[in-house]
Amino acid sequence: MEIRGPVQLPARREEITLETLDGLTLVGELALPESREPVATLVTLHPLPTAGGFMDSHILRKAAGRLPALADLAVLRFNTRGTTSPRGTSEGAFDGGGAEAFDVAAAVDFARERGLPKLWLVGWSFGTELALKYGRDHDVEGIILLSPPLHRATAEDVAAWEGDDRRVIVVVPELDDYLRPPEAIERFAAISHAVVIPVEGGRHLWVGEKQTRRVLTEIVAAVNPEALPLPETWDGD
């Protein structure tokens, strides 16, 4: 079977809830390798909810559908406050990236309480803003930024990562609607150890199987490179 589109490979999947410090309940899902312990954990932060972003935005859904089986990763997805998906609606209201700091903290705390290893924040679009603004507050291995627009995250938020030894991986589509590779290289130059990865032909929404595979490959290259190359076919159930 070719691995593409909405295919879900075997995993232990659990519907979860997160409790924020300001008293909200957020809904989400945790996907774990089916028969092994994970070697690392992706805490995912979805695109802008007011533009249709949610925990099922396709790159994050496909990461949860494939990477527990292909790369031994745990994948935690959740809806930030006020966001709805088929899993349900998280309490609260969208706050433009302000009170969402509590949402990031709740997700990281949940992963820690579960004893999940080597946490990485993986943000896409709006989710990159949350990772940049609040990731330094938490015990994570690093941050992976997919299509960062750098709208809400300021130059000061970026520069604050300089001197922090945690990894900063920036995956930038060549044809992004908001921030393209030349400007991304310039704006992330404030972080001397940041790795900016231009993706030829890529677009902000990473539509198409070729772009999906490239993004998932870059995530695994950062988190568990021993699992590369990712298989394109599946012989099991």
Cα distances (angstroms) measured from residue 88 to each of 20, 23, 25, 49, 202: 17, 17, 11, 14, 31
Please list, in sequence order, all residues whose beta carbon lies within 8 angstroms of the beta carbon of residue 94, skipping any fewer than 6 positions away: 49, 50, 80, 81, 82, 83
**Per-residue model confidence as pLDDT tens digits over 47-90:** 999 999 999 999 999 999 999 999 999 999 999 999 999 999 99
Distance of CA 43 to the CA centre of its chain: 6
Q: Considering the entire predicted model, what is its pTM?
A: 0.98
**Per-residue model confidence as pLDDT tens digits over 100-115:** 999 999 999 999 999 9
Check residue 118 and give its pLDDT. Answer: 98
In the predicted model, is pLDDT for residue 199 greater than 90?
yes
**3-state DSSP helix/strand/coil percent for the chain, to nearest 5?**
30, 25, 45
**Per-residue model confidence as pLDDT tens digits over 131-177:** 999 999 999 999 999 999 999 999 999 999 999 999 999 999 999 99
8 Å CB contact between 89 and 80: no
With cut-offs at 50, 70 and 90, classify the pLDDT of residue 201.
Answer: very high
Q: Which amino acid is at 134?
A: Y
With cut-offs at 50, 70 and 90, classify the pLDDT of residue 236.
Answer: confident
Percentage of the chain beyond pLDDT 70 is 100
8 Å CB contact between 83 and 94: yes
With cut-offs at 50, 70 and 90, classify the pLDDT of residue 8.
Answer: very high
Say if residue 101 is exposed, middle or buried (CB neighbours under 10 Å; 0-12, 13-18, 19+): middle
Percentage of the chain beyond pLDDT 90 is 99
In the predicted model, is pLDDT for residue 220 greater than 90?
yes
Check residue 71 and give its pLDDT. Answer: 98
For the chain, the distance separating the N- and C-terminal CA atoms, rounded to the nearest angstrom, is 10
- Quick count: other Cβ atoms within 10 Å of Cβ 192? 10
8 Å CB contact between 168 and 185: no
In the predicted model, is pLDDT for residue 216 greater than 80?
yes
Check residue 51 and give its pLDDT. Answer: 97
CATH of 12-224, one of 3.20.20.120, 3.40.50.1820, 3.30.1490.440, 3.30.413.10: 3.40.50.1820
Cα distances (angstroms) measured from residue 193 to each of 132, 170, 215, 222: 14, 11, 20, 14
Alpha helix locations (H) across the chain? 58-71, 100-113, 126-134, 155-159, 181-187, 209-223
In the predicted model, is pLDDT for residue 237 greater than 80?
no
Domains of the chain, by residue range, sit at 12-224
Classify the C-alpha dihedral 182-125-218-222 as positive or negative: positive
Check residue 234 and give its pLDDT. Answer: 96
